[in-house]
Amino acid sequence: METRAGDPGAFAHFDLNRVTSPAFVVDEARLRANLAVLADVRTRAGIKLLSAMKAFSMWRVAGIVGEYLDGVCTSGLWEARLAAEHYMGEIATYCAGYKAEDLAEICAISDHVIFNSPKQLRRFQPELAAARAAGSAFDLGLRINPLHREGEVEKYDPCALGSRLGFPVDQVTLADLDGVTGLHFHTLCEQDFEPLERTWAALEARIAPWLVANGGPIRWLNFGGGHHITRADYQRDDLVAFLQRVKAQTDCEIYLEPGEAVALDAGILVGTVLDTHTNGIPVAIVDISATCHMPDVIEAPYRPAMLGERDRGEAVRLGGPSCLAGDVIGDYRLPVPCEPGQRFAFLDQAHYSMVKTTTFNGVPLPAIYLWDSASDRLECVKRFDWTTFRDRLS
């Protein structure tokens, strides 16, 4: 999988020795710049825009996110709790499979509760009725599968054959929408405007009879995430015109819920060379683990960009400190001598890295820093010690 992110921005001038290692460093100024772009799209298009916490849930900056966006989308009870405690605005909760015992609290916290299938929605009618009787006010939504594939990697494509995410739109009936006021779909991953436009073209006629503009029950549409809106070459004017047109034609409130776009190129992961040797090729052991700190390197897979990587010279294979043979980040031409104690950093690590870290094998978690490149203010937001590892176990 290829990513078009990796702009060093102000990090090109950041002294990596100012922080402990390993460490995530998030640039507040870049985060605000991304949010301003999103807010501009939201305002011009006349839609609502939510931040996807599954990608970036650094709640230390929740107040900043709230200055620009309409709220957040969550993926279950724990994310919804975090949203209710720290974030402002609306909370839209979608989960592929709810538990009955969680629904009362989810309904009390959320403005939208989105189900993955009509069957699940029908099964939990008693819990939903009880939540409303207790005073919870929420809309019900259904996630649909548009049956239109745009994903680059099949296992990350919500419309792939056999996908568990969303109910196939060709199976939805009007009876399935009893009590439902919104439809949700999410088909993109790090993509431009045109895949969204094609998805809507494939979906529009199928759902038109259910829309409020045609006398149906559907009053809002959530186009999910995966929109790379804050990337410099994204077609934002085209997106705005499209959203304006869809809103006018459907008479629905339109939602987008980008995650990666919120924190795109706003963070780095700083590491240190621990040891080197040669085994057919140069090898370096570093204190960043692909397995524990950047699992998408293995799962996607992809090659993260390195801050200041050289164009020439001998490449070194970087591997983490864990005992897993596959804990390999990739081959890089380091911008510093490949010697113990030397610092380096990977770019675009604010999203889908912090939220996915683990303490497998007792590997320490990276500290989290907030830096403002505009003022050069640096704050250590969180440090982890070995008790983080201990307390996950029993």
Instruction: Express each pLDDT in 108-138 by its tens digit.
Output: 999 999 999 999 999 999 999 999 999 999 9
Compute the average pLDDT of residues 313-341: 97
Pair 273, 338: CB distance under 8 Å: yes
Q: Is the pLDDT of residue 251 over 90?
A: yes
CA 94-95-99 angle, 5° bins: 130
Compute the average pLDDT of residues 245-272: 98
Structural domain boundaries of the chain?
Answer: 9-25+266-390, 46-263
- The confidence score (pLDDT) of residue 151 equals 81
Instruction: Express each pLDDT in 348-386 by its tens digit.
Output: 999 999 999 999 999 999 999 999 999 999 999 999 999
- The confidence score (pLDDT) of residue 219 equals 98
Q: Is the pLDDT of residue 306 over 80?
A: yes
Compute the average pLDDT of residues 25-35: 98
Beta pairing, strands 267-278 & 23-27: antiparallel
Percent of the chain topping pLDDT 70 = 99
Q: Is the pLDDT of residue 179 over 80?
A: yes
Fold classification of 46-263 (topology level)? TIM Barrel (3.20.20)
Q: Is the pLDDT of residue 1 over 70?
A: no
- The confidence score (pLDDT) of residue 63 equals 98
Q: What is the mean pLDDT of the chain?
A: 96
CA distances from 55 to 244, 262, 356 (A): 26, 9, 9
- What are the contacts of 161-170 at 24+ separation with CB within 8 A? 164/96, 164/116, 165/96, 165/116, 166/116, 167/116, 167/117, 167/118, 167/142, 167/143, 168/144, 169/144, 169/145, 169/203, 169/206, 169/207, 170/206
Instruction: Express each pLDDT in 259-301 by its tens digit.
Output: 999 999 999 999 999 999 999 999 999 999 999 999 999 998 9
- The confidence score (pLDDT) of residue 351 equals 96
The stretches of the chain forming alpha helices (DSSP H) are: 28-45, 62-68, 77-86, 100-109, 118-123, 125-133, 193-207, 236-250, 260-263, 290-293, 296-299, 386-390
Assign 14 a pLDDT band (cuts: 50, 70, 90).
very high
Within this chain, domains 9-25+266-390 and 46-263 share the same CATH topology: no
Compute the average pLDDT of residues 335-339: 97
The stretches of 87-178 forming alpha helices (DSSP H) are: 100-109, 118-123, 125-133
Just give the CATH number of 9-25+266-390.
Answer: 2.40.37.10
Q: Is the pLDDT of residue 329 over 70?
A: yes
Instruction: Express each pLDDT in 88-100 by its tens digit.
Output: 999 999 999 999 9
- The confidence score (pLDDT) of residue 279 equals 96
- The confidence score (pLDDT) of residue 141 equals 98
pTM for this entry: 0.96
Instruction: Express each pLDDT in 308-325 by its tens digit.
Output: 999 999 999 999 999 999
CA distances from 193 to 2, 68, 112, 394 (A): 17, 21, 25, 47
Percent of the chain topping pLDDT 90 = 95
Listed range (70-74, 149-153, 273-277, 371-375) with the worst mean pLDDT = 149-153
- The confidence score (pLDDT) of residue 153 equals 80
